[in-house]
């Protein structure tokens, strides 16, 4: 089945004969994607602080927390803060990619108690929905952990080329149809 007709109209009614008996009737429609969602750039994630963390060290009076964070396969972690249930990190990590792809994946957070001699202990996990970045290039989150406490993070999208909505250099987009087109060689000159 060819969908070329979608170049001239946003909705196409299709009838597909079935191999044995009857036919299948369905609609195919095109929803254009906002240009800025197709831009490449960097998502900056600032792990600011945590509050009221679970105490697991020294007879359950303190912890030595750090945060593991991941979007898809890319992972980072903060430094640990010794003996603190309300740590301040203010550490920023970068995730490169296309805004649409990054905003569709959750930011996974795991707060962990650092131990030198024993295995580290999980203090709680959380998932941050990054889809808000499709509407706003910056957002702050207060995220409740699965066990106890909260983590505070700030996310900022920086499009390659200087700002939100800037097209990635060297990649011409046919954005009226939501497709990427490219002719010629691509690479560093």
pLDDT in tens, 20-64: 988 888 888 766 667 778 889 999 999 999 999 999 988 889 999
Q: 5-27: per-residue pLDDT in tens?
A: 777 777 888 888 899 988 888 88
**Confidence class for position 167, pLDDT limits 50, 70, 90:** very low
Q: Characterise 134 by phi-psi region: left (phi > 0), alpha (psi -120 to 50), beta (else).
A: alpha
pTM: 0.71
CA–CA distance, 67 with 114 (Å, rounded to integer): 10
User: For residues 7 and 179, is the Cβ–Cβ distance under 8 A?
Assistant: no
């Amino acid at each position: 089945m060819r969908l070329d007709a979608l170049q001239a109209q946003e909705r196409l009614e299709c009838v597909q004969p079935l191999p044995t008996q009857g036919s299948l009737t369905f609609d195919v429609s095109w929803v254009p994607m906002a240009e800025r969602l197709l831009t490449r750039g960097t998502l900056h994630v600032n792990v600011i602080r945590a509050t009221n963390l679970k105490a697991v060290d020294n007879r359950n009076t303190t912890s030595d927390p750090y945060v593991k964070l991941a979007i898809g396969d890319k992972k980072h972690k903060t430094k640990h803060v010794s003996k603190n249930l309300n740590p301040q990190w203010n550490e920023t990590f970068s995730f490169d990619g296309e805004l649409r792809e990054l905003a569709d994946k959750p930011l996974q957070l795991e707060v962990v108690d650092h131990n030198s001699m024993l295995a580290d202990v999980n203090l709680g996990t959380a998932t941050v929905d990054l889809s808000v970045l499709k509407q706003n290039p910056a957002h702050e989150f207060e995220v409740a952990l699965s066990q106890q406490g909260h983590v505070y993070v700030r996310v900022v999208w920086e499009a390659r080329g200087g700002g939100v909505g800037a097209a990635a250099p060297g990649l011409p987009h046919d954005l009226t149809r939501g497709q990427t087109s490219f002719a010629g060689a691509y690479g560093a000159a």
